[in-house]
Chains A and B, each alone.
Chain A
Amino acid sequence: MVRFFEKKVVMTMLVLTCAIIMDSEMLNAQGISRKNGIGFRPSFWKTNRSEALISVSGSRVELGGAGTWFTFFSRFNNDWFYEFQFGAFASVVAKRVSDSVIEDEDVTLIIPFLLGARYDFWATRNQSALQPYFSFGAGPYWITNVDRPGTDVGTFTGTVDSGMMTGGYLGGGLNIALTSWLAFNFDLKYHFVDWDRSADYSGINFGAGVNFMWGQKRELIRVVGVKTIVSDIYPAYYQFYNSYPLAMVTIKNMSGSSIEVNIRSNIRYFSERPKETGFIKIKGKETKDIPITTILGNKIRQVKQRENAVIDISVEARAGSKVTKKVSSLVMIHNPNSWNGEMDKLVFFVKSDDDRILNWGRSLVNGLETETGDFLRNFTIAKAVFDTLSSTNIRYHSDPNIPFYRDDRVNFAHETIDLKSGDCDDLVVLYASILESLGINTAFVEVRDPEKELAHLFLLFDTGLSADMGNLISSNEKRYLTRNNRVGKKTVWIPVETTLINDGFESAWKTGALEFLQNTEIRSGLAEGWVNIIEVE
C-alpha cells in the first residue's frame, strides 16, 4: 500500500514536471527570462588528493568532497550573467583500526568565494526551456586541513593547516527553466586551485540544484523607434490614410530565432476600429520597419476646429510567449475644409455624387438642346454651366487669414454655391464637381512658376472630341490642347480660368488657353516640372 502510494506520488511529480517543462516553452521561451537569481546546489568535489569520490573499503572510509554552493547571478548583457558563488566542501579520509583507535584521519574543508561570468550560449538560438551555458571565474579558496595520524579516538594529536589560495574555474551546465522564476540547475566545473591543474585541491566539481529568479524579464522585441510619416490628417481625404502609412514602426527582434509581430493602430475617438498589420515574421536579430495605417470613418469629418489626437500603437510579438508593447504618437486633425496644398489631394474635394450638385447640373442640362451623339455636347454643357454660374453672381474671394496657419481652406462645391464666393481652388472644385457630375472628365492644371511666389490653378475639361476634330471648336489650335483621356484616347481638352467666373465662358476659356500656351508650350513648364496636370478621378 505504501509502495503504491509512493509510486503514485512519483508518477504525479513526473507528469507535473513534464507539464511544467512543456508549458515553460510557451511561457518562458528564450532561456532565463528574468534578470537576477539565486541558486542552491549540493555538489561533489573530487580533489586530486582524493583517490575516489566515495569509497568504503573494510574499515577505511573516504569521502572525496561534498558540500553545497550558494550562487547569485545577474544579467549584464543579453545572454551574459555575472555570477557570484560561495560554497563549503569537506573531504574526509579515515581508517578505524579498532573501536578506540583511528589511523590516518584527514579532514579538509574548502570554502571558495568566486566571481565569474556565465554565457547562455543557446538562449537566443532556440525557444526551448533547456538552456546550456558555460562559465568561468576566479577567486580565493579558503582551505583548512586537519591531519591526524593514528591515535586514540578520545585524544587529538595532529596538525591543523589553514590558508588561502587563489584559483579559478572553467565549466558549464544546464538550466531547465520551469517557469520564469524557477529553474533546475545542473553544473560541472573544474577548479584550478593555486592555478595548478594537478594541485592537491584542484579537481572536478559537479552538482544539481535550483535557481530562483526575479527582476525584469528578458527583452524579446525592442521598439527601436516610431517615425511619424503623417503628422497632419485632413478629413477631406480621410480615405487616403486607410492605405497610406501614418507611421513607420521599427522593431528589433532581440532573440536569435524568428518571431511574429502584429501591430495594431488606433486613433483614439476617430478610428472606426483598430487596424492590424497581421503577423509579420522577423528573423532572429533582424530589425524591420513596419508601416502602419489606420481605419478612419466619417466621425473625422465632424471636427469643427483642428485638434490633436493620439495614435495608440500596440506591438504584439509571438514566439511561444506573447509580449505586448505599447507606444503612442500625436497627430493633428484638421477641419474638413483644410487642404495642405498638395494638388493631387485637391481632387478629394470634388464630390460629383453630392445630391445638390447632381440636381443642380441635371436641371441645367435638361433645359439644354443637346442630343446624344452630338459631338459638341460636352463643350455645350460646360459652356452653359460656366455661364449659369456667372449669372448667379458667384465671385472670386480670397481665403480668410488665419494666424499661424499655413494650410489652405477649400470649400466643397455646395458650400461655394451657398457662400456665393470662393478663391481659385474653390472655383476650380466647384466647376469640376459639376462637370464630373454630368459625366465630363476634368483635370487640374497647377502652375508653380519659379518666377512667382504664389502657385496658380485652373481647369481643363474633356470635350470628348478626337484629336483631329479640334477644328469643330476653334480654327486656332492654340485655344485647346490634345491629350489622352482616361481610356487612353487622344481627345481635345479646353483650358478654363475659373477665377473669371463673372466674365463668362468665352473670356475664361481665352485666358485659360493663353495661360496654358505661355506656361506649357512656350516656357516648357510641363517638361521642366513646374506645371502639373492632375486628373480628377
Chain B
Amino acid sequence: MKIILILALNIIITSQALYAAQQVKIIALAGDVKIRRGLDEHWQTASNAVTLENIDTILTGEAGEVTLKMENGDKFTLGSNSILDIADLREITERELFLYLMSQKIDKIGPREGKTKLKIGRVNVVHGELKSDSAKLNSQPDQRTDWLLEKNGARALFGQNYTTNAIFKFNKILLKYPDITGCGELNFHIGQAFEKLNKPGQAADAYKQAIKINSGDCAGETSSWVVQSEAALKQLNQ
C-alpha cells in the first residue's frame, strides 16, 4: 500500500512538473555560474550542455555569464551578478500578468477591521526583542545582495523582450523586499515595460510610483530614476 501511495504521489508530482515543463539547456557560459536543482539546499557549478527544468535556479557571479537555449530555439543570456528562476522564462501571457497584478492588489486590501480594536498602551518589556533585532540586522546585507541579484535577473528578462515576465518579476521583487525601495528603479523599469506593451495608463502609474518613492526614502539622493521617470511621464502626457 505504501509503495502504491508513493508511486501515485510521484506520478502526480512528476506530472505537475511536466505540465509546465520548460526545459532549457546551457549552451555557453563564462566565469562563475552556478545552478540549484529544485528544492536542493546547495548550489552546484554549472557546466555546458546541462539541461535545466522550470523548478531550477541559475546564479551568475562577478564577471559570470551564461547563455541558455529554449525548447523553441530562442536564446537567453544572463549577465553577471544575476539570479533567475528557470520558471521566469516560461511564457506569461498578458492575461496571466494582469490576473497576478490584480490578485496582488486584492491581497493588499487586507481584511476589514472590526469595530472594536484591541489597543495596547505601552509595552515596557518585550522578551526576545534583542535577539529578534540582531537577527534582522544580520539579514539586511544579505537581503540587499539578493535584491540586486534578482533585479539584474529581471532586467535581463526585460532587455531580451521577455516583457510580461519582466513585469511579473519586478513586481515579485517589490513584494518580496518591501523595505528596499531602490529609489524607484524597479517602478521605472515596470513603467518602461508597460510602455513596451502599449499600456500607457499602467506605465504612467508606475512612473508616478517611482517619483513618489524617490521623494520619500531617497529624497536628497541624486537619483537618475526620478529624472528619467519624470521625463518618461512628460513624454507620455504629450
Contact B16 A519 (CB under 8 A): yes
* In the complex with contacts A372-B127, A510-B39, A522-B87, A517-B55 CB distance below 8 A: yes
Q: Is A514 on the interface with B (CB-CB < 8 A)?
A: yes
Interface mask (B158-179 → A, CB under 8 Å = 1, otherwise 0): 0000000000000000001000
Q: Is A471 on the interface with B (CB-CB < 8 A)?
A: yes
* In the complex with contacts A474-B41, A478-B38, A514-B55, A522-B139 CB distance below 8 A: no
Interface mask (A500-537 → B, CB under 8 Å = 1, otherwise 0): 10110000001101110111011110111000000000
Q: Which A residues lie within 8 Å of B20 (CB)?
A: 518, 522-523
Contact of B136 (CB < 8 Å), options: A466, A484, A511, A514: A466
In the complex, the chain B residue whose C-beta lies closest to that of A472 is B135
Contact A526 B103 (CB under 8 A): yes
Count A-B pairs with CB separation below 8 Å.
89
Bound CA–CA A521/B132 (angstroms) = 29
Q: Which A residues lie within 8 Å of B13 (CB)?
A: 511, 514-515, 518
Interface residues on A, range: 35 or more
Q: Which A residues lie within 8 Å of B2 (CB)?
A: 395, 502
* In the complex with contacts A469-B135, A497-B9, A522-B90, A527-B103 CB distance below 8 A: yes
Bound CA–CA A526/B136 (angstroms) = 29
Bound CA–CA A511/B39 (angstroms) = 9
Q: Is B128 on the interface with A (CB-CB < 8 A)?
A: yes
Interface mask (B1-29 → A, CB under 8 Å = 1, otherwise 0): 11001100100110011011000000000
* In the complex with contacts A468-B136, A474-B41, A476-B41, A395-B103 CB distance below 8 A: no
Q: Which B residues lie within 8 Å of A373 (CB)?
A: 127-128, 131
Q: Is A80 on the interface with B (CB-CB < 8 A)?
A: no
* In the complex with contacts A375-B131, A499-B9, A521-B87 CB distance below 8 A: yes
Within the complex, the shortest CB–CB distance from B86 to chain A, in Å, comes to 10
Within the complex, the shortest CB–CB distance from B94 to chain A, in Å, comes to 13
Chain B binding surface SS class: helix
Q: Is A342 on the interface with B (CB-CB < 8 A)?
A: no
Interfacial residues of chain B within 32-75, with CB under 8 A of chain A in the complex = 36, 38-42, 54-55, 57
Q: Is A409 on the interface with B (CB-CB < 8 A)?
A: no
Within the complex, the shortest CB–CB distance from A456 to chain B, in Å, comes to 8
Q: Which B residues lie within 8 Å of A519 (CB)?
A: 16
* In the complex with contacts A468-B143, A527-B102, A511-B9 CB distance below 8 A: yes
Within the complex, the shortest CB–CB distance from B142 to chain A, in Å, comes to 7
Bound CA–CA A456/B16 (angstroms) = 13
Within the complex, the shortest CB–CB distance from A30 to chain B, in Å, comes to 42
Contact A395 B102 (CB under 8 A): no
Bound CA–CA A375/B139 (angstroms) = 14
Bound CA–CA A534/B13 (angstroms) = 22
Q: Which B residues lie within 8 Å of A497 (CB)?
A: 9
Q: Is B197 on the interface with A (CB-CB < 8 A)?
A: no
Q: Which B residues lie within 8 Å of A375 (CB)?
A: 131-132, 135
Q: Is A396 on the interface with B (CB-CB < 8 A)?
A: yes
Q: Is A46 on the interface with B (CB-CB < 8 A)?
A: no
Bound CA–CA A488/B113 (angstroms) = 11
Within the complex, the shortest CB–CB distance from A446 to chain B, in Å, comes to 15
In the complex, the chain A residue whose C-beta lies closest to that of B129 is A373
Bound CA–CA A484/B175 (angstroms) = 12
Bound CA–CA A468/B36 (angstroms) = 21
Bound CA–CA A475/B87 (angstroms) = 19
Q: Which A residues lie within 8 Å of B5 (CB)?
A: 396, 499, 502
Interface mask (B181-200 → A, CB under 8 Å = 1, otherwise 0): 00000000000000000000
Interface mask (A473-498 → B, CB under 8 Å = 1, otherwise 0): 01110110010100010000000010
Q: Is A451 on the interface with B (CB-CB < 8 A)?
A: yes
Within the complex, the shortest CB–CB distance from B6 to chain A, in Å, comes to 7
Q: Which A residues lie within 8 Å of B131 (CB)?
A: 373, 375
Q: Which A residues lie within 8 Å of B42 (CB)?
A: 475
Bound CA–CA A228/B64 (angstroms) = 67
Q: Which A residues lie within 8 Å of B90 (CB)?
A: 522
Q: Which B residues lie within 8 Å of A469 (CB)?
A: 135-136, 139
Bound CA–CA A153/B121 (angstroms) = 116
Bound CA–CA A523/B55 (angstroms) = 12
Within the complex, the shortest CB–CB distance from B145 to chain A, in Å, comes to 12
Contact A527 B135 (CB under 8 A): no
* In the complex with contacts A395-B2, A526-B103, A514-B96 CB distance below 8 A: no
Contact B16 A518 (CB under 8 A): yes
Within the complex, the shortest CB–CB distance from B93 to chain A, in Å, comes to 10
In the complex, the chain A residue whose C-beta lies closest to that of B179 is A468
In the complex, the chain B residue whose C-beta lies closest to that of A373 is B128
Q: Is B110 on the interface with A (CB-CB < 8 A)?
A: yes
Contact B39 A479 (CB under 8 A): yes
* In the complex with contacts A478-B55, A479-B39, A528-B127 CB distance below 8 A: no
Select the residue from A468, A474, A478 with max chain B CB neighbours within 10 A. Answer: A468
Q: Which B residues lie within 8 Å of A518 (CB)?
A: 13, 16-17, 19-20, 55
Contact of B36 (CB < 8 Å), options: A476, A511, A527: A476
Within the complex, the shortest CB–CB distance from B70 to chain A, in Å, comes to 16
Interface mask (A292-332 → B, CB under 8 Å = 1, otherwise 0): 00000000000000000000000000000000000000000
Q: Is B99 on the interface with A (CB-CB < 8 A)?
A: yes
Question: What 5 A-B pairs have minimum CB-CB distances, sorted nearest first?
Answer: A373-B128, A527-B103, A527-B99, A518-B16, A527-B100
27 contacts between A and B (CB under 8 A): A396-B1, A396-B5, A469-B135, A471-B142, A474-B41, A475-B42, A476-B36, A476-B39, A478-B55, A488-B110, A488-B111, A497-B9, A499-B5, A500-B9, A503-B6, A510-B39, A513-B39, A514-B13, A515-B16, A517-B39, A518-B17, A522-B55, A523-B20, A526-B103, A527-B96, A527-B99, A527-B103
| Chain B contact residues, CB within 8 Å of chain A | 1-2, 5-6, 9, 12-13, 16-17, 19-20, 36, 38-42, 54-55, 57, 87, 90, 96, 99-100, 102-103, 110-111, 127-128, 131-132, 135-136, 139, 142-143, 176
